[in-house]
Structure formats: C-alpha cells, structure tokens
Structure 1
C-alpha cells in the first residue's frame, strides 16, 4: 500500500512519475479524439487502425534489426506502425467508397488481413538472429516497466501535440460530426476534417503502442467517451469529461501496476477505465441505472396516485394495494378507505385536470402527441396562462351546453 501511495503522489521515482504523466496525457488525448470518433459513428475505425499497425511494427523491427542487430528502436517502430496504419486506413476508405461493401465490412477485411500478416511476421522474427525479440510482445499488450526515460518523454510530447491539435480543431470536428451538410455550407471541407480526425486517431493508436499495446489502445478511444456520455448532453463538456476520465484511467492504471512486479500496465489502465464506465453506468444522475430505476418508481407512484384520485372523484372502488398506500400516506383517505376533506378536494382538482387534458388532446391532437406524460403534470405547468384560460372557457361552455 505504501508503494501505491508513493506512486499516486509522484514520489516513487522519476521514471515512474514520467510514465504516469505520459500515460495520463495519452489517455486524455484518446478520450478527446475518441469522443469525436464516437459522435461521427466510426468507433470501429479505431479497432481497424490498431490492428493495422502490427505489420508495419514488425517490418520496422526486421529492418532495424538487420541494420543494427537490435530491432528495439522506438522512433523507427512508431514510424513503421504509423505507415502501416495509414495504409490500412486508406484501404478501408477505398473499399467502402469504391465498392458496394459497407464500412463495417471493409474494416473487418482490413483488420483481419493486416493482423494475420503481422502474426506471420512475428513468427519470422522469432527465427532471426536479432536481439530484442522478447520486447516486441510488449507492443501487443503494453509494457511500461522497461520503458526508458527518452521513450516516456517522446510519448508525453506526442500526446501533448495530439491534445493541442484536437483543441484547435474542435469546432470543425463538432460541425462535421453533427451535421456534415451544414458544415459544407459554412465553407468547411468535410473530407479534410474527416482525414484530420482519422490521422489524429491514428497518432493516438501509434503512440499508445508502448503503453497499452495495439490490442487494448482501442479501449481508451471508446470507453472514456461512452462513460462521459452518461453525464452530459453538451458535446464540449463530453469532450472535456472524456479527457478527464481517460487521464484518470491512465493515472490509476500506471500507479497500480507499480505496486508489484509483473502487473501489466495496459490491462490495468483499461480495467480502470471500465470501472469508471461502470460507475457512470450505475450512478449517473441522468442516465444511470440507479437513476432510471428511481425515475421509474417515481413515475409509477405518480400514475397510481392520479388514478386513485380519479377513482375517488368518480366513486369507483380501489383495490390496488400501492394506490391505497399512496392515498393513505398523502392523507387523502382514512384507514377504512373513506376520502378525507383533503382527498375530496384533490380528487375534484384531478378530475378537472383530466377534463382539461382531454379537451386539449381533442382540440390539438398533433401538439398533444409531443407532450410527454400529458395528464400527470399540472396543465398550468405545461401550457401558457392564455392557453389554459382558453381551455377553461371552452370546458365551461361545453358543460353549460349539456342538458
């Protein structure tokens, strides 16, 4: 526990602190760019890009290993992974644009083909007389335990660059994500914006190879934005919250991995992100499961109470246990089921409200369709005073016209 506390307070060591900051910046960038990708409905593209990095990574390892005997040179490996990912991304775009196949089918074809080719190249590497082969698997699942200070600095700098680029282009990204046609009328080249979005996504995937690995980096571009969606409807707030949740995932994941030897950093970062998602899924005050259950219970009680008051106003017997309980708690009926004075007054008001709502639905059926739970909410809280007065007058005239 002492080790974890030292890691949390950035006092465990220089390299651990640097790796933690680099992972936090990377995860924040992944959360930000992942939000725009999610809003653009292209979440699967990040999966294709991550798997498409493997052939370039292994080919770069082979070339570097043949040239200098050790294939573990991070800048060269990242360049190879980036070129391979760019090729995979280009193929997805070409297949989906020039054939009858959809983007999902193109992603499946590219993802499986590139990953299979990369696995074959890993087998080739194992038969070569090149050092550093054991470190190559770290790019599949992530490995920060042996990360050098220069590698951590490179990751941190690249992550800062991604964050800056996302911040600068946030307006164009939002316009294209929500309404590409409107963005074109504003003079925005949507093709270039989409390309910039995918390039930034590719940069996050390539940078994250050393931290979480190509298999798990896609989780950081999806889980934080999805978790952020539970808390807000505002797109920029969602971007900021996704960045915060991503940084928090990187913070807890890296610090937890420093507690004991052999604990994998990448999976712990993803698990931390999942815990944050699970908390959002369960406890978000707007869309969480708990909030939805409570809202359903409140709605159910409102329906039973209103139906009970309508039954009182019409002298109808009430047999439902929940309805009787709610009426007793509100003081509308006595224990023997007889209505109190307050219950009689509330019943008359409920009956009057019901008639006003029925008249409103009859006179304005199209507008009534868009009124959520019309009848449960007092009509004066939904319609303007003039509209309510008009309905009151019409209801009075109808009542007087009856024989």
Structure 2
C-alpha cells in the first residue's frame, strides 16, 4: 500500500516525469491513431515506427549527442521519407500498398540496425543507451524530455481539434470531401505529418517495435464501444492514459518490469475486454443478441401458428394441445417448450389444464407477424415478379425483421391489399 501511496503522491520526483510523459505520449498517439484506424491504414503506423530508427542513428552520428530534440528531428525526417516511399511505390509500380509497406519497413529498419551496430562498435561513450529506442525506456524520461513532449503533443492535439471535421470527412468519404472542394491532398499530408509526430514522440516510451500497438490498439478498442467519432477519440485517449499510468505503476512497483511493454500489455488487455464485452459489437454481446433473436423468432413462429389455428376454426382463444401446435408448425419440442414458457412469462399465452391459448396481446402479435408475412409475399409477386410458390421461404425470414416504417411503406405501395398471392386474408 505504501508503494501505491508513494506513486500517486509523486514521492520520488522521477515518478512525476515518467507518469506525465507516458500519459502524454499515450494520449497523443491514441488520438491520431483513431484516424489511421478509420482510414484503414493501421500498417502505416508500424512502417513509420520501424522507419524512425535510422533517423535516430543518423541524428546521433551528425550531432554527436543524445539531445532528444535532435534525435526526434532525425526520427521525424526518416519517418516522413518512409511514408513518401510507400506512396511512391504504390502509385508508380504494380505493388499494392501492403507490399510497399512491408518493403519499406524492412529496408528502413534494416538500415537502422546497421547504423546502430556501427555506432555501438565505434567505441563512443556517448552512444550508451541509444539502443533503448528499439524497445523504449520510459524510466529514462527527465524534465527536459517532458517539456519537449508536452509541446509536441499540445501542437498535435491542437491541430487535430482545429481540423477535426475535415479529418473526419477524409476518413469516411474522401471522394465527398474532394467534391466539396476541400484540399484532400493537403489534408492527407497534414494527417500523415501528425501520424509521424505521434510515432516519433512515442518511441522513447515504448520503442520502435511496440509503437504501432500504441497508435492503433486504443482506437480499435474504442471503436467497439461507440459509433460516434468524438466519443471514440475520447475513449481512445482515455484508454491510452490508463495504459500509460498503469504501465508506469507496474514498472515502479516492480523495477525489473519495463514500462513500455507493460503499457502495451495493459492497452491490449483493454482491447481484449472491449472485443469481448462491448454491448453491441463485442463477442459476448453479439452472442447474446443472436440468442435473443433466435428466441424472438421461435416465439413469433409459435404465435403465428396459434393465430393460423384460430383462423382455421374462427376461434383465436381456443385451447390447443402441445401436439396440435407441433403439427401446425414444425418446431423442435425443446424449442417449443422454451418458447411457450417465455411467451407465458411475457403474458402472450396462458396454460390451463395442460392446454395453451392466446391472450389478447398474443393474438395481436401473432396477427401482426401473419400480416407482415403475407404483405411481403404480395410485394415479391407484384413488384419483383416472383412466382407465388417461391415466396414463402423469403417471407418466413422477412416477417421477423420488417420495421413499422417498412410495414407502412408496404401497405401504401401495395394499396392495402386484402389477400396474399395464395388467397389468404391479410389481417389489419
């Protein structure tokens, strides 16, 4: 507990630099990564992350120091060159973008490893720690680094805020943006620059190898929780901040644990939770929704079967046996028992002396399902010229998903027909 208290109170001055630095780097990369993710350019971040290594090495060789400003400037230049190379190869050769990305990534990273090896073998004392750019070393952040990162992240977030609408339109519909007269090429270059900046400022925290995860993973996790891009960006920034703080704490509590990899592990865990438990798009949510839809279809089929039996005998509230329902509608006995039990709980059917009957609410719901089925059959035969004996199966599916708006449109377009193609009455 004392370790946690010392961490949150910044008892050690170095903790302040590490926590604030990792949060700034994580939030900045997460915000820009949302647009890379939406533009389906996730691999570009990986290419840029690997391509900054030769820039770091060249900046060190030319300046002779490990000044963060020079190193980040060198990383920015080669990161930009890698993107220009990808675009040039994709547009002027038969290679697709993914192939171009793999080619540029491997070449630039290979050059970076060669330069790093040369520097390490040169014997210069000042080169110590330069290899930390491969895997990151957030624990080495100091006050001057923090001010530099704060300035870069502030510029990155400010530009993103000012051009948020334009970036959003570019991400979803580039052709429409061009039709509106927006400078699409200029916006692409600006967004590319922000992507490079986000990668460059993050390499000191998580390194070139893991930086792509910080750019894309928060955005991918946030996408599962919302369809609103504003909320998505806010959630991605929150996930990035949480992972930065948590990674810094784990590294502080267990000094042998590296900060950068733990940041990536935490944000990956948040992504796994999002993929699994997000309400609408998560795996668990999707399975629950599928189960709900299956049960709804079974219930509506049972109500429709009881309604049809009522039509035949002109008595919708007559009590029916379990076997009588199965004969009318071919349903698995276990599914029929489950469906009847749920319908009884919801007040759509009643059970008396082992027999089942519709309630007024159940009769109305069965009536509507029957109506939608026959309306859709009528639509297929009159507007799509499909033979009456070929429309039943399609109507069996559509009757469960037609909304009230579509229902009204069908009625108006078909001019409120009274019978379906088979001569059955359409109940209103």
Superposed CA RMSD: 3.0
Q: Which residue of 2 aligns with 1:205?
A: 199
Q: Which residue of 2 aligns with 1:23?
A: 22
Shift of 1:330: 3.2
Could you tell me which of 96, 108, 114 is aligned with 1:114? 108
- Return closer, same or farther for 1:23/1:319 CA change in 2, 3 Å cut-off: closer
Structure 2 unmatched runs, 5+: 310-323, 385-390
- 1:360 aligns to 2:375 (yes or no): yes
Shift of 1:49: 0.7
- Return closer, same or farther for 1:302/1:341 CA change in 2, 3 Å cut-off: closer
- Return closer, same or farther for 1:324/1:128 CA change in 2, 3 Å cut-off: same
Could you tell me which of 337, 341, 344 is aligned with 1:324? 337
Q: Is the 8 A contact 1:143 1:266 kept in 2?
A: yes
Q: Deviations over 1:1-30 (max 9, x none)?
A: 4323432x2423333123212221221111
CA distance in 1, matches of 2:124, 2:409: 83
Could you tell me which of 91, 98, 103 is aligned with 2:92? 98
Q: Which residue of 2 aligns with 1:169?
A: 163
User: Normalised by the size of structure 2, how large is the TM-score?
Assistant: 0.83
Q: Is the 8 A contact 1:379 1:388 kept in 2?
A: no
- Return closer, same or farther for 1:215/1:370 CA change in 2, 3 Å cut-off: farther
- Return closer, same or farther for 1:325/1:178 CA change in 2, 3 Å cut-off: closer
- Return closer, same or farther for 1:270/1:338 CA change in 2, 3 Å cut-off: same
3-state SS of paired residue (1:232): coil
User: Normalised by the size of structure 1, how large is the TM-score?
Assistant: 0.88
- Return closer, same or farther for 1:145/1:348 CA change in 2, 3 Å cut-off: closer
Q: Which residue of 1 aligns with 2:6?
A: 6
- Return closer, same or farther for 1:151/1:379 CA change in 2, 3 Å cut-off: closer
Structure 1 unmatched runs, 5+: 66-70
CA distance in 2, matches of 1:101, 1:341: 65
- Return closer, same or farther for 1:370/1:316 CA change in 2, 3 Å cut-off: closer
Q: Is the 8 A contact 1:310 1:347 kept in 2?
A: no
Q: Which residue of 1 aligns with 2:400?
A: 376
Alignment of 1:235-314 (within 5 A): 235-312=229-306, 313-314=308-309
Q: Deviations over 1:151-178 (max 9, x none)?
A: 1221222112211111111111111111
Q: Which residue of 2 aligns with 1:64?
A: 63
Q: Is the 8 A contact 1:53 1:85 kept in 2?
A: yes
Alignment of 1:384-395 (within 5 A): 384=408, 387=411, 394-395=418-419
Q: Is the 8 A contact 1:309 1:346 kept in 2?
A: no
Shift of 1:333: 5.8
